[in-house]
Structure 1
Amino acid sequence: MARHSRRTSPFPLLRRRVGSAALLSAAVALTACSDDPTGPSIEDRIDEIETIRVDLRDGSAHVAHTHGSGAAMHWHGDLHLHPGDEVELDVTFLDAQGDTIRLFDSGELALAASLSGASGALQIESHGDHLEVTAVGEGEGTLTISIMHDGHSDFSAPALAFEVVDHEPGADGVAVVRLLDHADESELAHTHDTGDDMYWQGHLHLHPGDELEVELEFLDADGHVIDLVSGDRTLMVSLAEGSASGVVELAAHGDHADIEAVADGEVEVVFTVMDGDEVVMTLPGLEVEVVTH
């Protein structure tokens, strides 16, 4: 992770003459250690970064977030798109308490991103506090997000993996599965790829005592909804093999399921569409993380 600091803001003009050389020296010292005498310097704010989140700007999905700090910082999740997709990404920087570090309000800093690997698969445009990404062709590589200041990078995040692939329908023509909040139908996660390569983009982050009702929406390659759970078909939910009991409690209700957070831990839950005793479709394990506030 690269960090640099450069300070250019002058100390405010003194409104009255000060005869004390000591006070003048203090003013010069303050100029040297802060971009803004009323708040922390840019370097101080960047040094507070502990976690980075990447989300779709419309609020429809979480893309990835970092774990660890310093040289050990790494991403959980990646950016998965299909040719023709256009998305805007919000990048949020958090401190050790989980509070947002407001880096872009003054306009001194701006987001940027560079590509490696199949760089021709994506086009990226910076809008200061967010990024606009267009998938123009198939390929995979990495995207490095930076915080720019006066034409140079003050901070570079670890490389975030991306891939751009065509939709390929799977069972019953299903190309994408969306996990929705049953209450308001907002998206919590969605799948990528099909068959044995299918995996979830996103995960559930809960606190003990949280109760969540979820449902699944099945889409074909053109984005049309497939009515996969209807009639005699029902949605079932279970813990993935190897997941510890006691972290969550699960219950299925035909067309939706309940997930109740019980205790701290990480598990995977598996959704299965059944037609009587016959398995129609089994989805990959979805990570559920339960942590105390």
Structure 2
Amino acid sequence: MKKSYLLTLFTAAILILTAVSCDSNDDHDDHGEVPVGLQLSLNGQMLVTQDSGTVTYASGDAIELPVGAEVGPVDVQFIAEDGDLFTPEGSEYGLEYTLSQNGVISVEHPLGNNQFQFNVTAVEVGETTVTLDLLHDGHSDFETQPITVRVSQSESE
């Protein structure tokens, strides 16, 4: 009788532990769409795309800007595994950027409450790269390859 009671108690404990471990309310891993790439666009026109690790520019091998150019808003969309473009929704998502060379461009980010738009101003002749990082609850969900921005002398000078 005692052996049967212990076996029943042990079985019940295992079932309870299994149910509790599978019923976590922690949505930390609930990321929705999983980004595999990114697209930056201006007025609906693609500036640069990163898909499966390959960076493709609208023309050439960089985003080219003349000194003094003010560009924006640049829209950031991510590419899902099925190829669809999406913009993460919710306050738990954010976007950070890193410049390899300060002073070549300035970035105004975010624009109002929109984490996925920014303006760029070409400040001085030179080249820099921008790396964008999609954050979800403080950790990185996706980081781009370096995106090259080249600033040249304006044609009027």
Structure 2 length normalisation: TM-score? Answer: 0.71
Letter in 1 for 2:84: D
Q: Distance in 2 between matches of 1:26 and 1:153?
A: 30
Following superposition, the deviation at residue 99 of structure 1 comes to 1.6
* 2:119 maps to 1:119: no
Q: Shift of residue 83 of structure 1?
A: 2.0
Structure 2 distance, partners of 1:156, 1:106, is 19
Calculate percent identity across the aligned residue pairs. 28
> What pairs with 1:1-293 in structure 2 (closer than 5 Å)?
22=15, 26-31=19-24, 34-35=27-28, 41-42=30-31, 45=33, 48-56=34-42, 58-59=43-44, 61-67=45-51, 69=52, 73-77=53-57, 78-87=62-71, 88-103=73-88, 105-116=89-100, 118-127=101-110, 128-168=115-155, 221=156
Q: Which runs of 5+ in 2 are unaligned?
A: 1-11
CA distance in 2, matches of 1:150, 1:33: 12
Q: Deviations over 1:142-168 (max 9, x none)?
A: 110111234443321100011111233
CA distance in 1, matches of 2:106, 2:145: 19
Residues in 2 aligned to 1:89 and 1:163: alpha-carbon distance in whole angstroms: 16
Task: Quote the RMSD (CA, aligned, Å).
Answer: 2.8
Letter in 2 for 1:159: P
Contact 1:111-1:130 within 8 A present in 2 as well = no
Measured after TM superposition, the shift of residue 122 of structure 1 is 1.1
**Aligned mates of 1:80, 1:161 — CA distance in 2:** 9
CA displacement, residues 107-161 of structure 1 (integer Å, 9 cap, x when unaligned): 1111111011x32111123221222222221110211011123444332110001
- Aligned equivalents of 1:151 and 1:50: distance in 2? 19
- In structure 2, the residue corresponding to 1:120 is in which secondary structure? coil
Instruction: State the match for 1:262 in structure 2.
Output: none
Q: Which has the higher contact order (CA 8 A, sep 6+)?
A: 2
5+ unaligned residues in a row in structure 1: which ranges? 1-19, 169-220, 223-293
SS in 1 for 2:82: coil
Q: Is the 1:51–1:65 contact (alpha carbons within 8 Å) kept by the matching residues of 2?
A: yes
Secondary structure of the 1:26 match is helix
Decide which structure has greater helix share.
2
